Amino acid sequence: MPGFSTRAVQVGQASDPLTGAVVPPIVLASTFQLDGIEGAPDRYNYSRSGNPTRDRYQEALASLESGAGAVAFPSGLNAEDTLVRVLTRPGDTILCGHDVYAGTGRMFTWILPREGRSTHRVSMANLDEVRTAFEETHARVLWLETPSNPLLELSDIEALSTVAHEYGAWVVVDNTFATPVFQRPIELGADIVIHSTTKYIGGHSDHVGGAAIFAPDLHLPDDGLSGSDDVLHEVRWWQNAIGSVPGAFDSWLAHRGLRTLVVRVQRSAATAQRVAEALTEVPQISQVWYPGLPTHPGHDIAARQMSGFGGVISFELDSPELARKVSESTQLLRLAASLGAAESLIEYPYAMTHASMASTTNPAPDKLVRLAIGLEDPEDLIADIIQAVEKAYR
């Protein structure tokens, strides 16, 4: 099999046989002419059910995550919602960590209970606590986000997958922050990987999307609605049934992002390491959270299961007011709620991405600032953050 970088550039990107174009054309057609009323099983008929541009992109995603197949969605949350509906039934429980993306937390806290599904929060760093939670809840799904958002907590995917499988549970890993460049959960025992492809995979702040990638030979304990017990088949059936498909242009944008994913992510992580180390020397900053720092509580796990530490850094100041002031005082880093793109971003999670969780038992820390490091020169980013901190403390 070709190497990772080769596959990122080549899979699903064969030259167009008609024109020789080295970038395959986007197929924008909503419908396709059939040879007969019943059509043919290997032909496209309607773009909700299948589209060549989307299929090429899904092939590339599956290859990079070592999966048997991938399903692209209009957003990361849509991918999560569809997965939950396939893997669980009313009355089932999902185990997840205390620190998760607020969109996921909002769905778990308010949406799923209305459907009879429950979520149980547990410390993923404590295997005994996870075992106890399985004993008490009989959870169907173990939901991991590693590194987590925004505290960058690390979960031992291999160890936790072993525990979950002992109890017959699915293991779903949100790999958005690490990307398959640095971490491939299926190779560590996970069943399903999810992404907000809006972030590093799209990579240019011009695309919204999500994806789920599936390990080989996943089977539902009972027949799915589609008549198949194959999980990948079932998710594809659900996607078509409820219409949760991305457009051809969004699929093309995300696939384009895969071609430069390796160099972008590696550059972002190298810069983030330098920025994180510099921030530990800033006296006004009380704590820096970055897996590449030996002081990070999950550093050893990250070093074992990741080949790089990612481009996201969080740090704490002495008060919420100071955190807000710093977030609003940078000049190069833009105040915006996303990550994974060419430009560096800064945000105040408590009142921005995680505002919906502020009144719950799992809010983002109100003294925390999150950085999404892009492709600028590290010296410029460090100087910008330091001037913002100094300005806030005047």
- Residues annotated as catalytic (active site), given as ranges: 48, 101, 174, 199
> Are 231 and 218 in contact, with CB atoms under 8 Å apart?
yes
The two beta strands, 192-196 and 312-316, are unpaired
